[in-house]
Structure 1
Amino acid sequence: MTDKKIKNIFVEGAISTSFIADSIAKHSSKKEIGGHSIFLGQVRADDIDGKVVSAIDYTAYQETALAQMHEIREAIFNKYPLTCMHVYQSLGTIKVGEICLFVFTSSAHRKPAIAACEEIVERLKAELPIWGKEIFEDGTHQWKENK
């Protein structure tokens, strides 16, 4: 690992639309940016075996996840000519319709921002120790499968 500070990607609760809008607005003064890519993960009301999801309760091994995300961040910055990268993952209970993941990349051109954003989302889902417990409308629950 490098000497760069490990950034905390975790936020307690849902990621608000005002937080997302503020994050985007802060980049308007960065004149070298020509393209942004944004991924927003939202909790769905999946129907699983006749039961409907009402929320997902997210947990993580935070220390391990943050160290792994730091390695992903470094690899992505080395692979793509990005100006900025921001990643936020919710912890706690997130209701259907709320945002639980926000990935935001910026670069001089659109293609690196788009490719980096997609790779970050895929690696985060595959590599980080973050789990979601689906909570159904009837109060029962089960661990969610990452897809």
Structure 2
Amino acid sequence: MISVTRDDFDVNAVIDRVRRPDMGALVTFLGVVRDDGIEEMDLEAYEEIATKEMETIRDEAFANYPIEAVEIIHRIGRLRVGENILLIVVGAGHRKEAFSACEYILERIKQSVPIWKKEFGKDGSERWVPGEYPGGDA
């Protein structure tokens, strides 16, 4: 599953959906809103293109790594500190391939998926996060 959503997700449910007896490794990356002087952030996306780009990234991972499964969920909307932003789950026969593919997917998402972050500081400040995602320099 590839998804751009406003809804939170159940990490364990996604892992259970991916898990198969022939996989020796399930690697997950869970990105969360961290307390870096902010109270919340707003994530905006061109949803249709973001989903298609994440599907392309998934297909690239399958083509370049011996993996068995990939799920990617990226949230958008207003999120508070501690809330989930991004979940990547990669299943493979072995851990090295799963870790490598998960890292590849994460870096490609940051490079090419049209999702932008605006942070809202505890002091009332607002700023677009430069360099995190395409268009983040706004």
Q: Same fold (TM over 0.5)?
A: yes
Task: Give the structure 1 partner of residue 127 of structure 2.
Answer: 142
Equivalent residue number for residue 44 of structure 1: 34
Q: Cα 1:8–1:22, aligned 2, differ >3 Å: closer, same or farther?
A: closer
Q: Which residue of 1 aligns with 2:136?
A: none
Q: Which residue of 2 aligns with 1:11?
A: 5
Question: Quick one: which amino acid aligns to residue 12 of structure 1?
Answer: R
List aligned pairs for 1:44-123, cutoff 5 A.
44-46=34-36, 52-123=37-108
Q: Which residue of the partner structure matches residue 4 of structure 1? A: none
Match of 1:21 among 12, 24, 27: 12
- 1:34-85 deviation digits (Å, cap 9, x = unpaired): 0011111111111xxxxx2111110111122122222111111111111110
User: Tell me, which stretches of 5 or more residues in structure 1 are unaligned?
Assistant: 1-6, 47-51
Per the TM alignment, residue 8 of structure 1 is displaced from its structure 2 partner at its CA by 4.3
Relative to the length of structure 1, the TM-score reads 0.82
- Structure number, greater radius of gyration: 1
Among 126, 133, 141, the residue aligned to 2:118 = 133
Q: Distance in 1 between matches of 2:51 and 2:89?
A: 17
Query: Are the counterparts in 1 of residues 44 and 116 from structure 2 also a CA contact under 8 Å?
Result: yes
Q: TM-score, normalised by structure 2?
A: 0.87
Cα-Cα RMSD: 1.7
Unaligned runs of 5+ in 2: 134-138
Counterpart residue number, 2:109:
124
- Counterpart-to-counterpart distance in 1, 2:116 and 2:43: 6
Q: Deviation at 1:137?
A: 2.1
